[in-house]
Chains A and B, each alone.
Chain A
């Protein structure tokens, strides 16, 4: 992990843009743009956690949307019972996400590579169907939050701009936390387990346990994203945790260039803005987007940032 000034420039720029975006938005369709960028940041948080798993631990989870769903449903179910206090709901959301991660991780992490992909996918689908069968909480139709979360009784997220900056703070916090973890003792073991698990075991690390802790961390951050998403949309439904959402999270990570963390934020922005743009052109935007994915995989390895840096390299060479 060599972190020089040039690699620091990009994350700083990303957060500066996000911090100033509301100012720019106030000159345009403010509500719409604020909403869009809030979503970008929320999915950025979820994608960060997934990039931590995939990019640093080699754990390609295809069920990450489950955690988003768990976080969102925790907020909504509490809301349905008249509890919207962040000091209660957020910790519970994190604990439930951690528990789910711990239990499913115990099974998933005993398996490798493609088994891991399929099993995380299956557990994600399980949560999706469970949410759909919760008839008291709207079943397949989902349910609406009566109001956004409050802190010690104050409706601090009621204002869209306040929500935006709260989400930005959580994004920055998650980013810094994961970056610290990646460089820490724990992160080093986790990264090593991606490179060569047998070697790690023979020098004395119980790889499984470290991976499970990492899985729980990523699950909690996914849950946090879900909690924020429920607040942003004031609505939750099983579709938040459908397997397509999990796939989209992987795409975001891949878009931004896997194993960079800040790339996940770029990827989330690229994905959602592209979806928004293509969706504005035609309702059949997936007809364009699908083949685009295929082409990106076939021709642009290393994601958008990788693509950008290879172009830059070529330019500076020629």
Chain B
């Protein structure tokens, strides 16, 4: 089998005496969408933060395409092909949607130590940004300030920013959180379209989305992986049923 895009090896994180990530290991392969589910406080966001580099793990290693990235800062990880969305929407509020995405394009094309020449007139940046916005159906709102977008649109914008980075691995931290049923449906369609282009790790509470999208699912409780496998296997796992899914699956 080919080398996994993401390989996490025995990752641990504790805040003082509190163990939040307790020996997590998992692999995500090229083109695969791997969902991580689990109750609140299971350590899902902490896991994503460690992978993206905003939080340093206490122990264990993280590999991206075989390269050890455990101690790299977030910006270096981004250049190696790691993109993420945030649970609490994180965009540049006073930049237009287009400029938000254009910045991500700019980050991977040429030097940003250019002090003259208007960045907003670089058609290469704008075209690529527009293409990413189109993919998430946000092209009509390109000139709107991010602060003025609806919540669902901001989620889509985050996705467009990630796309513009042409990632090898995309970490999605609860992209459906706070969106209405209609917007969730739209996001699911978008994600379905993107599936296979790059590996994705999806942390999500919306089980419709998870079972509609995931190739594999890992269940995280108390910082450990309780079960991992194909959606059908996880759905059938009695331990998972009692520990977490329970009534949510009727």
Contact = CB atoms under 8 A, between A and B. Distances in A.
Is the pairing of A and B real? yes
Interface of A: 1, 180-181, 183-189, 191-192, 195-196, 198-207, 210, 213
Contacts of A206: 73, 75-76
Nearest to A190: B112
Contacts of B91: 196, 199
Interface string B80-112: 000110100011111100010011101110111
Contact of A180 (B86, B102, B116): B116
5 contacts: A188-B103, A188-B119, A196-B92, A199-B92, A205-B112
Nearest to B164: A203
Given A184-B119, A188-B103, A195-B95, A202 B114 contact: no
Given A185-B106, A188-B103, A192-B103, A1 B92 contact: no
Contacts of A199: 86, 90-92
A202 B107 CA distance: 10
B161 interface: yes
A210 B103 CA distance: 14
B78 interface: yes
B103 A183 contact: no
B108 A204 contact: yes
A210 B107 CA distance: 12
A174 to B, nearest CB: 13
Interface size range on B against A: 35 or more
Given A1-B120, A186-B114, A213-B113, A198 B54 contact: yes
B79 interface: yes
A179 to B, nearest CB: 10
Contacts of A183: 118-120
A131 B80 CA distance: 48
Contacts of B75: 200-202, 204-207
A200 B75 CA distance: 8
B4 interface: no
A180 B107 contact: no
A207 B76 CA distance: 12
Nearest to A1: B120
A215 to B, nearest CB: 14
A203 B115 contact: no
A196 to B, nearest CB: 5
Contacts of A198: 54, 74, 86, 90
Given A185-B114, A186-B113, A198-B90, A203 B78 contact: yes
A188 B117 CA distance: 11
B136 to A, nearest CB: 16
Main secondary structure of the interface of A (DSSP, over half): helix
Contacts of A210: 112
B90 A184 contact: no
Nearest 5 pairs between A and B by C-beta? A204-B78, A204-B107, A195-B92, A201-B74, A185-B114
Nearest to A176: B116
Given A1-B120, A188-B106, A205-B107, 5 more contacts: A181-B115, A184-B119, A185-B117, A195-B93, A204-B78
A30 B80 CA distance: 63
B159 to A, nearest CB: 13
A256 B75 CA distance: 35
B184 interface: no
B35 interface: no
A203 B164 CA distance: 9
Contacts of A196: 90-93
Nearest to A180: B116
B52 interface: yes
A183 B116 CA distance: 8
The interface centre, meaning the residue of B54, B75, B94, B122 with most chain A CB atoms within 10 A of its CB, is: B75
B98 to A, nearest CB: 12
Q: Quick one: which of A1, A203, A205 has the most chain B CB within 10 A?
A: A203
A189 to B, nearest CB: 5
B165 interface: yes
A195 B90 CA distance: 10
B119 to A, nearest CB: 5
Contacts of A205: 75, 107, 112
The interface centre, meaning the residue of B79, B93, B112, B118 with most chain A CB atoms within 10 A of its CB, is: B112
A195 B79 contact: no
A188 B96 CA distance: 12
Nearest to B146: A195
Contacts of A1: 120
A206 B75 CA distance: 6
* Residue in B73, B92, B94 whose Cβ sees the most chain A Cβ within 10 Å: B92
Nearest to B101: A203
A181 to B, nearest CB: 5
Contact of B161 (A187, A189, A191, A203): A203
A187 B112 CA distance: 9
